[in-house]
């Protein structure tokens, strides 16, 4: 039994849900998100909630039950509130700035990195060392943040690099005489 799949998905006011031909569509203030539904699970809309249940006799139902519930929840939350990931940049001379539709990163290399911002994602740099990535699609926001972090991962000796705001870097002790 899936512990996640048992919980119904609450639909907040301002979000419209429609289920047509194995495709769930969530429409809210942040846009329209669609989730393709797996044939092994059954999705029903009941008085302000969405209930996901496994179909009888399907072997994949136990595997996909909690996954489909999480994907539906991400679409509902994304359409109503959206998702935000904040990245911190640590290091002397390391900084970021938004220039038009691209993110300019100076991360200690001999050249600047101009990284294009995908459609549906907004990027803000409140300070030169703080990047805020937001959007409706959780997967897209997380993927973009992870690609930026991959340009210069934080190193364990001085902590220089790009890290998530809530990430803890395990520091190592340097050489001793």
Q: What is the pLDDT along the chain (177 residues), one digit of tens a residue?
A: 568 888 888 888 888 888 888 899 999 888 899 999 888 888 888 888 988 888 887 778 888 888 898 999 999 999 998 999 999 999 899 999 999 899 999 998 999 999 999 998 999 999 999 999 999 999 999 999 999 999 999 999 998 999 999 989 999 998 888
Strand partners of residue 85: 133
d(CA 35, CA 77): 13
Between 3.40.50.620, 3.30.70.980, 3.90.930.12, 1.10.3720.10, what CATH number should domain 83-164 receive? Answer: 3.90.930.12
3-state secondary structure at position 65: helix
pTM of the model: 0.88
In Å, how far are 15, 126, 140, 149 from 24, measured between CA atoms? 12, 36, 18, 32
Give 61-70's long-range contacts (Cβ < 8 A, gap of 24+): 62/2, 64/38, 64/40, 65/2, 65/5, 65/40, 65/41, 66/2, 66/3, 66/4, 66/5, 67/38, 68/5, 68/35, 68/37, 68/38, 68/41, 68/43, 69/2, 69/4, 69/5, 69/7, 69/9, 70/4
Q: What are the residues whose beta carbons fall under 8 Å from the beta carbon of 149, sequence distance 6 or more?
A: 87, 162, 163, 164
pLDDT for 103-154, tens place per residue? 999 998 999 999 999 998 999 999 999 999 999 999 999 999 999 999 999 9
> Fold identical between 3-80 and 83-164?
yes
Q: Taking the domain 3-80, which CATH number applies? A: 3.90.930.12
Domain boundaries, the chain: 3-80, 83-164
Q: Are strands 161-164 and 9-10 parallel, antiparallel or unpaired?
A: unpaired
């Amino acid at each position: 039994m899936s512990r996640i799949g048992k919980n119904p998905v609450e639909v907040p006011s301002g979000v419209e849900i429609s289920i047509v031909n194995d495709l769930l569509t969530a429409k809210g203030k942040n846009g329209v998100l669609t989730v393709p539904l797996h044939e092994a699970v059954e999705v029903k809309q009941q008085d302000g909630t969405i209930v996901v249940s496994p179909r009888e006799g399907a072997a994949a139902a136990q595997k996909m039950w909690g996954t489909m519930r999480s994907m539906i929840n991400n679409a509902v939350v994304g359409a109503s509130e959206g998702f935000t990931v904040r990245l911190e940049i640590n290091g002397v001379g390391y900084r970021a700035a938004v220039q038009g539709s691209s993110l300019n990163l100076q991360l200690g290399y001999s050249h600047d990195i101009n990284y294009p911002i995908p459609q549906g994602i907004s990027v803000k740099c409140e300070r030169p060392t703080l990047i805020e990535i937001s959007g409706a699609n959780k997967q897209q926001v997380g993927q973009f943040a992870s690609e930026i972090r991959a340009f210069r991962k934080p190193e364990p000796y001085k902590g220089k690099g790009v890290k998530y705001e809530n990430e803890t870097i395990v520091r190592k002790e340097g050489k001793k005489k």
